[in-house]
Amino acid sequence: QASDSKREQFRQYLEKSGVLDMLTKVLVALYEEPEKPDSALDFLKHHLGASAPENPEIEALRLEVAEMKEKYEAVLEENKKLKTKVKVY
C-alpha cells in the first residue's frame, strides 16, 4: 500500500507540473507523424526541447551565429584576395 501511495503522489506531482500533458502531446505528435522518424528518441528530445520558453531566443541566436559564420568566411576570402593584391604592388 505504501508503494501505491507513493506512486499516486508521484503521478499527481507529474500531473500538476504539466509533465504528463507535455509527454502526451509529444507522443501524440509522434503518433500523427505521417513518416515516422528513424529515431523516436531524437524526435522526443527535439520536441521536448522545442517547448522550452527560451527556445525562440535560442533559435534566433543560432541563426545569427550561422550568418556571422558566413560573413566571417567571406571576410577571410576577401582578406586573402587583398593580401595577394598587396604583394603584387
Average pLDDT over residues 50-72: 81
Do 43 and 69 sit in the same domain of this protein?
Answer: no
Q: Which residue has the cell 509527454?
A: 23
Do 40 and 75 sit in the same domain of this protein?
Answer: no
Average pLDDT over residues 47-52: 67
Domain extent, residue 65, equals 54-88
Do 3 and 41 sit in the same domain of this protein?
Answer: yes
The model's pLDDT over 21-39, given as tens digits with 9 standing for 90+, comes to 999 999 999 999 999 999 9
Confidence class for position 50, pLDDT limits 50, 70, 90: low
> Which range among 19-28, 37-46, 53-62, 80-89 shows the weakest confidence by mean pLDDT?
53-62
CA atoms lying within 13 Å on the CB side of residue 70: 6
Average pLDDT, the chain: 89
Do 23 and 42 sit in the same domain of this protein?
Answer: yes
For the chain, the straight-line distance linking the first and the last C-alpha, in angstroms and rounded, comes to 89
Do 24 and 64 sit in the same domain of this protein?
Answer: no
Number of structural domains in the chain: 2
Do 24 and 58 sit in the same domain of this protein?
Answer: no
Give the model's pLDDT for residue 54. 60
Do 30 and 72 sit in the same domain of this protein?
Answer: no
